[in-house]
Structure 1
Amino acid sequence: MITATDPTVTDQEIARHLTSAEVSNRSVAQKLGVSWGRVDEVRQRLQLPTYRRGRRVPERSWEEAVRNRIKTVAGGHAEWTGSRHPLGTPLLSWQGRAETAYRAVFRLHYGRVPVGNIKHVPDCDVEHCVAGEHLEDRVMRDARRAGGAR
């Protein structure tokens, strides 16, 4: 633990490193060579929430939880950054509600509950892609096979 403080480090520099409740006082203190107490004083002056190890700031809505876990990648595909089933299936768990990310993203993208299993459209070859436009339910597959529009 660092006990001596670097007098050249300003409170503004400390504040720049305290970007959210997910940044600990200890990590800022170690990075800047100042005491934990000084960082805590700056945090309190800025009225930032106290850091809680291992706890994220909870999302305010289900939609926010979905959007926070999607990363857009090349080719219009999307990667799921949240948890996964041991077989790789992307999963969303929010406020005690759990479902596959495919169903959550489908509902958010199309504004309706999917019918049957969610699968990728034929021209999406990226395993576990969660881009809304790359997902289709049974109704959409049946329409595509019948020659109709999606």
Structure 2
Amino acid sequence: MNIRAAIEELLTAGYGNKAIARQVHVRHQRVAEIRAELGIPNVVRPTTATYSEDAFWRRTQPVGDHLTWTGHFNSTGVPCLRTTDGMHTAYRIAFRIRWGREPVGTVRPGCDMERCVHPRHVEDAQMRRQYAAIFGEVAA
């Protein structure tokens, strides 16, 4: 997916200019230009981003439709972020960004890219059980 297409997708999903700019690594002014071209009104919302969410976006890099982690990895190779309230895996932060709730059980990428931290690609144990029930696959 190219950057313009990613920006358009996030705009239509309702994300703000700065959040999109952080995610696709462009200036927020560029996002505003594309928003204006598409005629999508700028929705001003009070910010609900936490420090860990902001730090998450600063430590990711897009690779195609995926996001790689450029931050710290723990001793077992899991992408992690230390905040004032402790150590969090990038997977759990990504899950909270996407779903707005705490994950149930282990969170890991559901795509074919090892260590992908894209919020659209991570799954918690509850989601894996639901997929298994629907599709008859083995939940891990």
Using the size of structure 1 for normalisation, the TM-score is 0.52
The aligned residue for residue 123 of structure 2 is 136
Q: Which structure has greater helix proportion?
A: 2
Q: 2:63 aligns with which of 60, 70, 73?
A: 73
Q: Which runs of 4+ in 1 moved over 2 A?
A: none
Look up the match of 1:119: 108
Indicate which of 83, 91, 102 corresponds to 2:80.
Answer: 91
| Equivalent in the alignment of 1:82 | 71
Aligned residues: 86
1:105 corresponds, among 94, 111, 122, to 94
Q: What runs of 5+ residues in structure 2 fail to find an aligned partner?
A: 1-49, 136-140
Letter matched to residue 113 of structure 1: E
Q: CA RMSD in A?
A: 1.7
Look up the match of 1:64. 54
Identity %: 38
Residue 67 of structure 1, CA deviation: 1.2
Distance in 1 of aligned mates of 2:73 and 2:101: 23
CA contact (8 A) 2:52 2:81 kept: no
In proportion to residue count, which structure has more strand? 2
Q: Is this contact kept in 1: 2:91–2:109, CA < 8 A?
A: no
Matched residue SS, 2:73: coil
The structural deviation recorded for 1:62 is 2.3
1:69-121 C-alpha deviation (Å, 9 max, x unpaired): 111111x1110111111332100112252111111111112111000111222
- The structure whose Rg is larger is 1
Q: Secondary structure at the match of 2:82?
A: strand
TM-score (norm 2): 0.56
d(CA) in 1 for partners of 2:54 and 2:108?
Answer: 23
